[in-house]
Amino acid sequence: MIRAALAFAAALMLSTAAHAADKYATNNGVKIHYVAQGQGPLVVLIHGFPDYWATWKPLMAELNKAGYRTAALDTRGYNLSDKPQGVAAYAMPNLIGDVAAVIAAEGEKNATIVGHDWGAAIAWQTTFFRPDLVNKLVIMSVPHPTGMAREMATNADQQKNSQYARNFQQEGSEKNLTAEGLAGWVKDPAARPDYVEAFKRSDFAGMMNYYRANYPRGVGQTAAPPPAPPRIKVPVLVIHGMKDTALNAAGHSGTWNHVDADTTIVMFPHAAHFVQHDAAAQVNRTIRDWLDARK
């Protein structure tokens, strides 16, 4: 009887750990919704534009099976997270603080940080300015800021491809957005209605404020080089879809020059910007194996 009871309790704990739980963390009065699942070393996942936490469902399942706990954010302005008003609320120090709040809410001091698009930009900056929070870094799509600045100054294709961001920085650009339009990139017809609902709960001005507060300004000779960021002391994995029409693959060249730990760069030739969807099986397996090799 005792053995059976212990087995039942163990099974219940495993079931609870596998269940996705809606949770909240608070950063200076701003509530950040995230979904946590699994047991093991913490992996924090940060989405980009236009997206929400569920973009990570397949990767979460892969990592949970491999013995990791995942926490996927709705970044501020999106879905079930708070939607503070004004450009300043979306400045990078606040976004870094949101990541710190989630890690603290999980009772951890640090985590593996995974980010795509704006989530990748936040992940880079968190590693620079709160290195105590990051034990491994996984970047999708967004070059290291030094590489991005180089491309903005010298690469005509990247300059042209960044025009969408210039448009987003304009006052009132959010008036051109709809939930249905923002979900247009979602290829899975079963998932698209959930994206539309998540975007209806989101704040379009908040989405645009990421660009107004943080996207590099200027191209060519007017492109201002960023301050030299601190060197990265943890292992880095960069994943990029080579058909990305927003961020050129060339921006990742030289990333290794800014990292004191091992640096892995993986290019998927048939994937576009949403590489975690376009090459889902390969991306998920790559991240799992990379993490397993660094336990």
Looking at residue 18, its pLDDT comes to 60
Q: Quick one: pLDDT band at residue 35, thresholds 50, 70, 90?
A: very high
For residue 6, pLDDT over 50 is answered with no
- Flag the least confident range among 94-103, 115-124, 223-232: 223-232
Provide the whole-model pTM.
0.93
CA dist 29 and 26 (Å) reads: 6
Looking at residue 1, its pLDDT comes to 45
At 36, which amino acid appears? A
Q: Average pLDDT of 51-55? A: 98
User: Using an 8 Å Cβ cutoff, are 17 and 38 in contact?
Assistant: yes
Q: Exposed e or buried b for every residue in 137-151, given b needs 16+ CB within 10 A?
A: bbbbbbbbbbbbbbb
Share of the chain above pLDDT 90, in %: 88
Q: Average pLDDT of 160-179? A: 96
For residue 208, pLDDT over 90 is answered with yes
For residue 219, pLDDT over 90 is answered with no
pLDDT digits (tens, 9 = 90+) for 148-161: 999 999 999 999 99
Looking at residue 19, its pLDDT comes to 84
Class of domain 2-292: alpha beta
pLDDT digits (tens, 9 = 90+) for 236-276: 999 999 999 999 999 999 999 999 999 999 999 999 999 99
Looking at residue 15, its pLDDT comes to 41
For residue 191, pLDDT over 90 is answered with yes
For residue 221, pLDDT over 90 is answered with no
Give, to the nearest 10 degrees, the angle between helix 118-129 and helix 92-105.
80
Looking at residue 286, its pLDDT comes to 98
